[in-house]
Structure 1
Amino acid sequence: MTETNVPPDGPRSQERRKREALERLARDNDVWVATADAAGEPCLVPLAFWWDGGTVWLATRDTNPTGRNLRASGRARLCFGSTRDVVLMHGTARMVTREDLAPEVGDAFAAKDGWDPRRSHSSYVFFQVRPEVLQAWGTVAEMPGRTLMRDGEWLV
């Protein structure tokens, strides 16, 4: 892609966007996490994540706004990449305590990020986010066909 992230051959195919979205999920270290409380007050924070090939794992304190919101609503929007090459995921989240976390999940999370939440403050918990909708686009030209997953099922 060029400096403006518009491919010289026009908009990327949905297949290419899916492939590049999956590469981003495997490669990137951080994600913007958007949640809201019961009154609708939004919260947006960057968090480290690990993609297990089907779900996104996050770690945060259960006492901060993001942890409280995820625990209460089970809803999140995750945004990967830049504004000119974005992957937007809407998903459902379930909390997993450190005691209930499979050791291989904690180990993989720590290996990817170089930080192990299990060894941090005791209020850290994990959230497993299952994607329901996934969209990927780079510019206005890619807005049509940006939805690659709906109801947890890949469309491409």
Structure 2
Amino acid sequence: MTAPARSTAQRVDDTLRRLERDVDAWVATASPEGEPCMVPLSFLWDGATLLFSTAPGNPTARNLAAGGRARVGIGQTRDVVLMECDVEPLAATGIAPEVADAFAAKTGFRPGPRYVYLRMTPLWVQAWREVNELAGRDLPPLTPPR
């Protein structure tokens, strides 16, 4: 039996908890020629943006440098958060030490100086579990719980 649809407020709360708790996400990009690429990457949520890191020469980093947009999927098929994000590439040397430490503590990965960080700002966010939540899947801008 399908559970009743969650309210928008509950979906926002659940999404914020997922962003704090989850470690990995699927990041989808496309090359300038339209070639798709989707990879799993670990992330840190700071309350407003997601921070990822990857090698600068891989397709994801190249696509994001060229296009500046990504789709990010977090969670399981029946409890998903989907975001479209603007992306800002940052050199590893440009990240504050406390941010790098927080990223490493959450993800278990400390990027080396040749890696890039990717700060992603959600433009829109959707969250749903079952078909009964599809109609209300668009969430308002995310803000931390009070």
Report the TM-score range of the alignment, normalised by the length of the smaller protein: over 0.9
**2:129 matched to 1:138?**
yes
Consecutive aligned runs of 4 or more in structure 1 exceeding 3 Å deviation: none
Task: Map residues 62-77 of structure 1 onto 2, 5 A cutoff.
Answer: 62-77=56-71
Report the alpha carbon displacement of residue 154 of structure 1 after superposing the two structures with TM: 4.7
Cα distance in 1 for partners of 2:68, 2:40 equals: 18
Cα distance in 2 for partners of 1:132, 1:94 equals: 13
Normalising to structure 2: TM-score of the pair? 0.93
Within the candidate set 107, 114, 133, 1:123 is matched to 114
**Partner amino acid, structure 1, of 2:132:** A
Secondary structure in 1 aligned to 2:38?
A: strand
Normalising to structure 1: TM-score of the pair? 0.87
Report the alpha carbon displacement of residue 103 of structure 1 after superposing the two structures with TM: 1.4
Cα distance in 1 for partners of 2:123, 2:21 equals: 21
Match of 2:29 in 1: 35
Q: Gapped runs of 5+ residues in structure 2?
A: none
Tell me the number of residue pairs that the alignment of Structure 1 and Structure 2 aligns.
143
Secondary structure in 2 aligned to 1:53?
A: coil
Report the alpha carbon displacement of residue 101 of structure 1 after superposing the two structures with TM: 1.1
Cα distance in 2 for partners of 1:105, 1:132 equals: 22
Cα distance in 1 for partners of 2:114, 2:83 equals: 26
Contact 1:94 1:127 in 2 (8 A): yes
% same residue:
48
Match of 2:139 in 1: 148
Cα distance in 1 for partners of 2:109, 2:38 equals: 21
Contact 1:63 1:123 in 2 (8 A): no
Task: Map residues 31-110 of structure 1 onto 2, 5 A cutoff.
Answer: 31-110=25-104
Q: Gapped runs of 5+ residues in structure 1?
A: none
Cα distance in 2 for partners of 1:29, 1:108 equals: 12
Report the alpha carbon displacement of residue 123 of structure 1 after superposing the two structures with TM: 3.3
